[in-house]
Structure 1
Amino acid sequence: MRPLGLALIALAVLIPVYWFAPIASERDPVALFSQYLGAAALILMGINQFVATRAPGLEIVFGPLDRIYVLHKWLGVIALIAMGLHDIIDADMNGLRGGVLSGIAEDIGEISLYGLMILILASVITFIPYHLWKWSHRIIGVFFFLGAFHFFFIAKPFSNFDPLGLYVSAFCILGIVSYIWMSVVRPMAPRGHRYEVDLVRRVGGLTELVLLPKGGGMRHKPGQFAFLSIDGGGLGEEHPFTLSGAPTDDRVLRFSIKDLGDYTDRLQRTVQPGMDAIVSGPFGHFSMPRGRDPQVWIGAGVGITPFLAFAESLKGRETGPIKLYYCVRERDDIPYAVELERLAEEVDTLELIIVNSSEGIRLTSDRIVSDLGGDVANAHVFFCGPVPMRKALKSGLLLKGLKASRFHFEEFEMRTGIGLQSLAVWLWDRGKYEVVKRVSRQTEPAE
């Protein structure tokens, strides 16, 4: 996430303090603080609805789309905490007169609060099936609208037409308009680039799709991803996939998709040549740097897909030495191994190294540094694969001199938790440790 975007969000939440502070001298400051928390939650939710639109320019302010997904999650979590505290801390003030709808607004606020709490929690509890989460996530905007109604008509120590009221109302309107755009206008409006499925084939455990443009097509850079939806076969819902082919003049696209869930399972069983497809994008900034600094590419499993596009784009391009580590667990059919070996033969600067864990081989930071001749500080490292592997390699390489800014990766996950499972495991292990320690103390022989 870009510091600029985070700073703007923090500023948006803090600006109301300027108007709330003078009111504190005349009203109950505790109740006023509760009202501020409610306003801050609405501001965060309004921003969150907006960043979900994937509007042009968002990546410039907030960073690549994968980071925006992470931002989207944490904005929801922080808004949830603010809403919870707003409900716990009494916000009622004596001497306030509300309009005819203030009583209804009070009840609607409770409905909005608990509805948003349930749906936001459902978003970070990752064992809930994707299709159920996706359906429930669509109605968050309805409860946000109820929260905005609560703000507009509840009794409060300022008017909706005061600067403070207008300020918070603007974020409420931003969120409502964004939700209407995403749920009503966008599905009916022409979107994306129209394509036709030209080729479907199985490559190891992956389904490869080659798409031909039905019109101008889409320009992209190696390493970027796009949202794909296919007409028919229940595949109309768009999902993000990395483009595994390098850009071509005729704008033919290639996706290499692993069966990782309901949608991808249905896709590999039902997609056929001739089907129409819509591709939206491209997105992402996972791209090769210019210059002759050494590069390390690490693709684990289906994480090899962006490096297929990287490797194809090397022809005729001057680069420094590149080491591609392809980490697999297969014994026989390794997807794209033959294609990558051919590319490594054609491009002098590219070296392919297959790391097969089924043969007892593991990629470590020590090996990478050794293969680079000990000079890791000047290298760029690109990683696409499992999160635990990424964290282990990154921490090891940073300790050996790699700059954090030269370790490139994408948070390519639509849903992630907030660490509750890790916290539960830590608490369980800690509890077992304390029990064992107490038992050992009790059984120690007296001196």
Structure 2
Amino acid sequence: MLNRKGPMATLAIVLVFAVLHLAFPAANHSPRATGTTMLGGVAFLLMTCSIILSTRARFFEDWFGGLDRVYQVHKVSGVIAALFVLVHFFGVPKELPPGADPAINALVPSAPLGMLALIALVLSLALALNRKISYSRWRPLHKLMALVYVLAAGHFLTAPAALFDRFSISGFYLTAFAILGVIALLYSLFGMNRRTAHVYEISSVKPLERATEISLSALGKPIDFKPGQFAFVEIQGKGWSEPHPFTISSGKDEEALRFTIKVLGDWTRKVREELKSGAKVSVRGPYGRFDTDAAGTKQIWLAGGIGITPFLSTLRSMEPGDKRQIYLVYASRDKNEAIFLEELTERAAELGNITLVPLFSDEGNFARVDIMKSKLPDPLDTYEYFMCGPKPMVNGLMKDLKKEGVKRDRIHTEAFEFR
């Protein structure tokens, strides 16, 4: 669930600028110039926050409730920034006020830089929000936002004093964040991957029903993860250029690091068909706050298809004697697609506190709240819910649970989308 601390901090950064800008306006600036430059500054600050969030600093996960939530705010901030940029562009005065010295207040290069930034921003957002573009093509195109940011910084730093006073309190505030943003940008583009990478080697590639399990052996320091977390996997070698996020499916004490990857597109199909033992892999993480250990003693785990992986890691890590009462609802198309069903059944019997409920849609069985209500011994609002699976399934269950009186803070999901 999204932690409000992070979004509130982002809002505070924007509000401080707005208050400073309005409370200490530059002399001889019209209300129109003051208001529209304020919107431009807010847009720039939101872009800066998006870039800083892309560094994946660990404390952001605590502030926002996990890296998946960090990227949600990253995306929303970028979209809102674009809207403010458009209002700023169409509203800001296009001419110098009467009496302003044209030589001192030249619009060049500020105006051309602003126009280029606007064009690049619109193109970048159109590409970023286009779900039809494959991830391998989208990722390098998304880096155009770095160019947008540099152009935007140049735009306000070279703005004529008659329209924006960069030596005002709000101007210094904006400049300070521009410096932070450039540092974060350089780190994200050139430093983050080298600093956070753990080196592994592929030890085995195992085809499953509509999925592939890869096992990795650490060549250096292994990552220290909690069950339910995920990591970015980047296979080294020609044709394996971009990292992809996957939930860790191995147990906490296993020597091998395992990922179970559903075959969804070209990259995952290539993993299944071409990946061989011995290939080098960079693993960056762990990330995520999908932590069942931090919840209450009465839990319901709802998994749809490949969404079983975080629960699989948790079950592989648990020991007998766990005091929690857990119902694991595993929804799949049929028994053949329910990967690891046999292992899950055996682990549930060993642990004693797990009730496994397989649901196969080809038999007419679906994960539905009305069925849970009739089958569970206690009221629905006495449980905490952990859900991972297809977005329509998760959204539908969440909506129905709220109707039954289950509070939002008792429903835990992972928004596994990073674009």
TM tier, smaller: over 0.9
- Cα distance change of structure 1 residues 133 and 378 upon mapping to structure 2, 3 Å threshold: same
Secondary structure of the residue that 2:282 maps to in structure 1?
A: strand
Matches within 5 A, 1:311-390: 311-390=315-394
Structure 2 Cα separation of the partners of residues 153 and 85 of structure 1: 20
Contact 1:235–1:267 (CA<8 Å) still a contact in 2? no
Contact 1:246–1:310 (CA<8 Å) still a contact in 2? yes
RMSD of Structure 2 on Structure 1 (CA): 2.0
Match of 2:75 in 1: 73
Say if 2:272 is the partner of 1:271.
Answer: no
Say if 2:164 is the partner of 1:162.
Answer: no
Matches within 5 A, 1:45-444: 45-92=47-94, 93-94=96-97, 95-97=99-101, 99=104, 102-157=107-162, 158-187=164-193, 189-248=194-253, 250=255, 252-290=256-294, 293-415=297-419
Match of 2:32 in 1: 30
Contact 1:210–1:254 (CA<8 Å) still a contact in 2? yes
Structure 2 Cα separation of the partners of residues 193 and 248 of structure 1: 18
Secondary structure of the residue that 2:58 maps to in structure 1?
A: coil
Contact 1:291–1:319 (CA<8 Å) still a contact in 2? no
Counterpart code for 1:142: L
Stretches of structure 1 that go unaligned for 5 or more consecutive residues are: 416-447
Q: How many residues align?
A: 413
Point out 4+ residue stretches in structure 1 off by more than 6 angstroms. none
Counterpart code for 1:46: T
Secondary structure of the residue that 2:109 maps to in structure 1?
A: helix
Deviations 1:347-390 (A, max 9, x none): 11111111000112112101112222242222111100112211
| Residue range with higher mean Cα deviation, 119-128 or 93-102 | 93-102
Contact 2:299–2:327 (CA<8 Å) still a contact in 1? yes
Match of 1:41 in 2: 43
Residue 71 of structure 1: CA displacement?
Answer: 0.4
Stretches of structure 2 that go unaligned for 5 or more consecutive residues are: none
Structure 1 Cα separation of the partners of residues 222 and 80 of structure 2: 39
Structure 2 Cα separation of the partners of residues 4 and 235 of structure 1: 37
- Cα distance change of structure 1 residues 291 and 70 upon mapping to structure 2, 3 Å threshold: closer
Structure scoring higher RCO (CA < 8 A, sep ≥ 6) equals 2
Structure 1 Cα separation of the partners of residues 324 and 335 of structure 2: 31
- Cα distance change of structure 1 residues 215 and 32 upon mapping to structure 2, 3 Å threshold: same
Secondary structure of the residue that 1:16 maps to in structure 2?
A: helix
Contact 1:292–1:319 (CA<8 Å) still a contact in 2? no
- Cα distance change of structure 1 residues 81 and 5 upon mapping to structure 2, 3 Å threshold: same
Secondary structure of the residue that 1:15 maps to in structure 2?
A: helix
> Normalising by structure 1, what TM-score?
0.87
Match of 1:437 in 2: none
Residue 402 of structure 1: CA displacement?
Answer: 2.0
Residue 321 of structure 1: CA displacement?
Answer: 2.0
Residue 343 of structure 1: CA displacement?
Answer: 0.9
- Cα distance change of structure 1 residues 2 and 99 upon mapping to structure 2, 3 Å threshold: farther
Structure 1 Cα separation of the partners of residues 168 and 92 of structure 2: 23
| Residue range with higher mean Cα deviation, 16-25 or 44-53 | 16-25
Contact 2:213–2:258 (CA<8 Å) still a contact in 1? yes
Structure 2 Cα separation of the partners of residues 27 and 49 of structure 1: 31
Secondary structure of the residue that 1:377 maps to in structure 2?
A: helix
- Cα distance change of structure 1 residues 226 and 411 upon mapping to structure 2, 3 Å threshold: same
> Normalising by structure 2, what TM-score?
0.93
Say if 2:13 is the partner of 1:12.
Answer: yes
Contact 2:210–2:262 (CA<8 Å) still a contact in 1? yes
Contact 1:295–1:321 (CA<8 Å) still a contact in 2? yes
Residue 291 of structure 1: CA displacement?
Answer: 7.2
Structure 1 Cα separation of the partners of residues 321 and 176 of structure 2: 49
Contact 1:369–1:376 (CA<8 Å) still a contact in 2? yes
Secondary structure of the residue that 1:103 maps to in structure 2?
A: coil
Match of 1:439 in 2: none
Counterpart code for 2:16: I
Secondary structure of the residue that 1:351 maps to in structure 2?
A: strand
Counterpart code for 2:352: D
